[in-house]
Amino acid sequence: MTDTHSLDNVRIVLVNTSHPGNIGAVARAMKNMCLSQLYLVAPRKFPHDEATWRAASAGDILDNAVVCETLDEAIADCHLVVGTSARERTVPWPLLNPRHCMEEVYREAGAGHRVALMFGREDRGLTNEELQRCNLHVHIPSNPEYSSLNLGMAVQVMAYELRMLQVAGELDANAMAEWDQPVAEAEALERYLVHLEETLYDINFLRAEAPKKLMLRLRRLYQRTRLDEMEVNILRGILTSTQYWVRKAKERGEDGGQEG
């Protein structure tokens, strides 16, 4: 059920913010729109007077902000990770506009899942590697000739969409809200992807000649699928079985046969 506190399940994650004034502006925008959870990944200057001044009456959001050294810390326990993205990417990712994306976020938060909304650096946004940690990408449909929004403005737009959903009352429960298994946390998914890559090397599927972006494609596939915990267990079980057979083949090869 979506209650008035479901927005507490949504955290705003600012990655490597340069200007403390922007952090303050974000805090104010959040409080105006009933968001409260702010995570700062390696901010350049924080705490800072400029942040406090721009936050106006949202100083409590700054006081309670969680400062992390790495992105992993900020998103490890989240069930849904969303990254803000410019349009052009070498490998496309599921890309939603803020309205559709926040509908998804709001439903998940209402189902008790923890959601991270990631915003990148003022000048360069999120790196490709950071974007690949996300389940979904969201893009504000800005002017193609001047597409770079101020950081605080981008947060305002997302927070506004969430607030509109909150005041509109409850949405229909979606498929994942009534899922039979808990959605896997980001860390579990990451461990699976590491295990997958390791196994693909074991079976000689990942090699120098392999298509360049193979792991990236597999990552995209499993990130967008929103795996549940049992699925992660099944997939890891398959990898473990596969590795058993490879080891066995290779041991036997060393014992007496010729390696292919």
- Long-range contacts at 171-179 (CB < 8 A, ≥ 24 apart): 171/2, 171/103, 171/106, 171/107, 171/110, 173/107, 173/111, 174/104, 174/107, 176/107, 176/108, 176/111, 176/226, 177/107, 177/108, 177/110, 177/111, 179/228
Structure tokens at 120: 């990148």
Task: Tell which positions 21-50 bind its own copies, by CB under 8 A.
Answer: 25, 28-29, 31-34
Nearest distance from C-beta of residue 46 to its own copies, angstroms: 19
By beta-carbon proximity to its own copies, the closer residue of 47 and 94 is: 94
By beta-carbon proximity to its own copies, the closer residue of 69 and 90 is: 90
Q: Beta 80-84 vs 136-138: how paired, if at all?
A: parallel
By beta-carbon proximity to its own copies, the closer residue of 118 and 206 is: 206
Nearest distance from C-beta of residue 222 to its own copies, angstroms: 8
Binding-site member from 92, 124, 182, 194 for its own copies (CB under 8 A): 92
By beta-carbon proximity to its own copies, the closer residue of 62 and 68 is: 62
**Using rule CB under 8 A, residue 83 touches its own copies:** no
**Using rule CB under 8 A, residue 86 touches its own copies:** no
Binding-site member from 99, 124, 198, 229 for its own copies (CB under 8 A): 99
Structure tokens at 1: 């059920």
Write each residue from 118 to 157 as x if it is in contact with its own copies (CB under 8 A), else as -, in one continuous string: ----------------------xxxx--xxxxx-xx--xx
Question: SS3 for 125-184, per residue?
Answer: ECCHHHHCCCCEEECCCCECCECCCCHHHHHHHHHHHHHHHHHCCCCCCCCHHHCCCCEC
Binding-site member from 1, 172, 208, 212 for its own copies (CB under 8 A): 172
**Using rule CB under 8 A, residue 175 touches its own copies:** yes
By beta-carbon proximity to its own copies, the closer residue of 129 and 146 is: 146
By beta-carbon proximity to its own copies, the closer residue of 42 and 218 is: 218
**Using rule CB under 8 A, residue 91 touches its own copies:** yes
Please, what is the angle between helix 98-110 and helix 151-167, to 10°? 60
How far is CA 27 from its chain centroid? Answer: 20
Nearest distance from C-beta of residue 155 to its own copies, angstroms: 9
Q: Which residue is it, tokens 């979904």?
A: 136
Binding-site member from 64, 70, 128, 204 for its own copies (CB under 8 A): 204
User: Measured between alpha carbons, how far is 82 from 123 in angstroms, rounded to an integer?
Assistant: 19
> In 3-state terms, what secondary structure has residue 11?
strand
Nearest distance from C-beta of residue 130 to its own copies, angstroms: 19
Contact partners, residue 168, CB within 8 Å, separation at least 6: none
**Using rule CB under 8 A, residue 221 touches its own copies:** yes
Tell me the one-letter amino acid at 97.
Answer: N
